Chains A and B, each alone.
Chain A
């Protein structure tokens, strides 16, 4: 397996695991409080919609000339990566609330309980809609990453396999603990995904625009740790500002 393929598999695996944890929280909340069968129907419908997106976009992207594909995909990955990284840096610096799956589960459960009674044995539109929306919205970003990473390296099957492994791991864990996965280091995983997306976005975007990286693919071995170091430096810079503005808050962060 080449370095780029390892990067592809790792990025998709982490991104997919993060989104799967969030989707599982939503499905657990509506499944436990309302109707498991309707929640599973919602999950199934969302998975079909996601598969359709991948099936439609994958071949369309691989038909593009490689340079055009790398420019477009690199640019999009970079925009995505910078969004993930910005939120991850803000969380790590204490300027944005850490994502808490236990709290998200309680919130979803309260909303589900407040949405009226469930007809015994009947189909529950609320559970269906919430599960469908949760899985579709969390899955769209992953589908996009699978398609862009996979098509760029002409290896959609590897990207799809990494996504399937991630979902299987998360669902397996959720079934085992029968509770929201609050102990998964979600914020650290989001930080890693932001670093990977930004690094690959820079690499492919510049190549697509006509630039040549010194050392070709090996430059990723500098770009990825370099991006991580820059992001960590920005966490320290922001955290110092937080401490200056409010010493007590800074200590808590």
Chain B
């Protein structure tokens, strides 16, 4: 995650035979998929299907029990990966540091790694916040922001890294439909502007079918199908169809 590489194009991500158990319970049961450079890949599935655990593996926060995760052919567990590729993650809660202002949060990566002088960091922070519609919020504390604003601030923090791979964990959870649309547009705009590889974990069907190049549906640690939004929509599997078509029916 340093500026060692100047490439602005997205990276290739491969997951091969990924398995993970917690306390004897297998959460990921041998996942295989590939995300192409610059692609928006959405992983959908019901709560508890292993989506967030998968994401933690993809950013290197969890070691797998078996299998491998490759970024441009190199293992995510390799110590050089952080200095070679710029990876970022937008957490479900935003995970802004509550003791820092929004501006300090967004500029944290540049400041901690001494990549730019303070004036330059301030300029970049203002620019990235404006990019996500949060102009002038530098001095606010995270607890002064709404849920949607926190997520957009987290996206701005990820943008500062100029990522080649960006992972989103439930980016629209706890958001109203309008804020969800803003986040979705943000994901699309980012992909078009810097051709970042994006991997979105979500159970929001509107978001998934609105932004995805390809979608994978996961259930109980297994991938049920992978394909374009159209292919997934017409995939003939009862579980997939049940998940995609589940709706609340009120009978008076």
The answer to whether A and B belong to the same complex is: no
- Using a CB–CB distance below 8 Å, which chain A residues touch chain B? none
